[in-house]
Every structure is written in C-alpha cells, then in structure tokens.
Copies of this chain bind each other. A is one copy, B any other.
Amino acid sequence: MSVTSATAFAPASVGNVGIGFDILGHTFPALGDRVRARRSAAAGVRITAIGGVVRDLPLEAAQNTAGMAVQALLEAVQPGFGVELEIEKGIPLGSGLGGSAASAVAGVVAANALLPEPRPALELLRYAMRGEAVASGAVHVDNIAPSLFGGLVLTVGIDNPRIKQIPVPPMIRCVLVHPRMFLGTREARGILNRSVDLADVVWQTANLAGFLAGCYTSDLAMIRDAFEDVMIEPQRARLIPGFAEVKRAAMDRGALGCSISGAGPSVFAWCEEAQASAIAAAMAQAFAGEGLESDQWVAAIEAVGARVEETS
C-alpha cells in the first residue's frame, strides 16, 4: 500500500561548532522543524501552510527552503505525482540554529517517505543543500548534515560530500542561548574577510585537530584547550551585543568552550552536565545586562538525526 502522507521532524543544529567553519555542525534536539508531505495529483511542489514560531516565510516553493529541497528531489526521481507541504517551524528565524536547514531536511525526509523506493540519506543531503542555498545564498552543509544524520557531523567536500559522525563524550551537554534578535546569515557571511593570516590558519587548524582528537579519545582537557575559534568569532562577535560578556559568563562557570552558533546571534557552550544549568543562567543574565531577553536550552548531542514520525 503506498504512502500518501508522511510527517518528518528534523532537529536544530549548531553550525561551525566554533572551530569548524562550514565543515562541522551538531544537532540540538531540543528544537526542530516538522514538515508534513502529502501526495497530490498536480505535479510539482505546493506549500499549503506555514505555522509555528515563524509564519512569514515564502509560500512559493522555489523561494522556500523546504519547497526548493523537495522540488530538487522530485525533479531527480520523477515520481509521477506532486507534493503538498505543511511546514511547522519550531526554530526561530535568523537565530543561527539551522532553521532553514531543518526545514529543508524535514521536507525531503517527509517527501522521500512518499516514494515507492525511498532514496538513501546521502542523496537526500544534496537535495536539502539546494533548499539551504535559497536561504543563505551559499552552498554549505554544516547545518544540513547534522540535521539529517544526527550528532556531531563532519562534511568533507561539497560536490561529492562525504560524511563522518564524530563521537561526542557522553557527559557533554550543549547549552544554547538565543537572544531575541534577528541576524541574517547573508549579513553574517558578508562581513567576513576573504583571506586569513597564515599564522591564524595554523592556530585554527591546530585547534580543530585537537578538538577532534579530544572527541575521539574523550579527552576533555584537550577539548577545552582546543575549543577556540581564532578565525571567524573575532569578526562576528561585534554583531552580537554582549558576546564577550556572555562567553566570559560561560567560561567562568566551567564551560569547555563557548562560541557563536552558526552565523549567530545564538551562543552555545559545551560543558559537563553538572555545570549546564548554572552556565545557561549566567549566559542569559549577561544578555539581560545588554537589555536582551533570551531563551535557553540544554541538550545532549545524541547521534539522532531527522526521522519520519508518522505515515498514512
């Protein structure tokens, strides 16, 4: 019996993870987007509803990250039917939490469940990338890949991406604080210098390598020492009021590292479970000192990605 309707959930994600600009990301399962896909007789993709925490997104498929991603899937597989999408946003817009990626991923995972022969995840990655490009103006996968596969995910290559799930020591928690302001990915990408001092590259690569080695060997001291983005964070920090104070608040209370989630303005910290709630409160207080209200969440970084929740 063929599936006529499927609902998929895709988690939010922390892009870059500080030291892995455009190549690393990890899921943040406390938040996510949900997309319901339904077969329709009319060809192509139609978005019938957008609800949840964001409502003013384009309904035209080619302008919508989920719509564009599903359109790319349908163009590739030519299933002989169209798809209607209902999008329920759980991730705030312009928050740096991978909302456009999550919608694109939830869209293709839901639509994929309608196919007589569903496509493998690595292929879905490419369709989701097409959707993400609509929102960010650049092809990058550091939110798409974790949202789809789950956990801390490294992506090597763009044209023929190869995925690696990196183990995260199980005692680690991610604290995420979202100040209630909007910061566009395009703007945050636009301010970046197009070249990097070689000495900073050496420092950044040492930190990236140390961070990964620390994850593979559960070496928290190494993770802490290496958890410093010397390349991107110094440029973007000024876009986030109070960033220095928020980071200091986290580090003073024992965080292993603290940086900007994706393009910001959300700020994340890695810590051990016992410190998590005190760190979240201190970070929120630091934002409050700048007159910014914020939302805070704490989550483990489990290797669980997007999934179909319901079919009929």
- Interface positions of A (Cβ within 8 A of B): 20-24, 154-157, 162, 164, 166, 192-198, 201-202, 204-210, 212-214, 216-217, 219, 222, 225-226, 231
Contact = CB atoms under 8 A, between A and B. Distances in A.
A156 B209 contact: yes
Please give the count of copies of this chain that the complex contains.
2
Contacts of A226: 156
Contacts of A204: 201, 205
A201 B231 contact: yes
A207 B156 CA distance: 7
B197 A154 contact: no
B222 A164 contact: yes
Contact of A205 (B21, B192, B210, B216): B21
Contacts of A193: 198
A217 B198 CA distance: 29
B210 A208 contact: no
Nearest to A209: B154
A194 B205 CA distance: 16
Contacts of A192: 198
Nearest to A217: B164
Given A205-B205, A208-B208, A222-B156, A198 B195 contact: yes
Given A194-B197, A210-B164, A21 B202 contact: yes
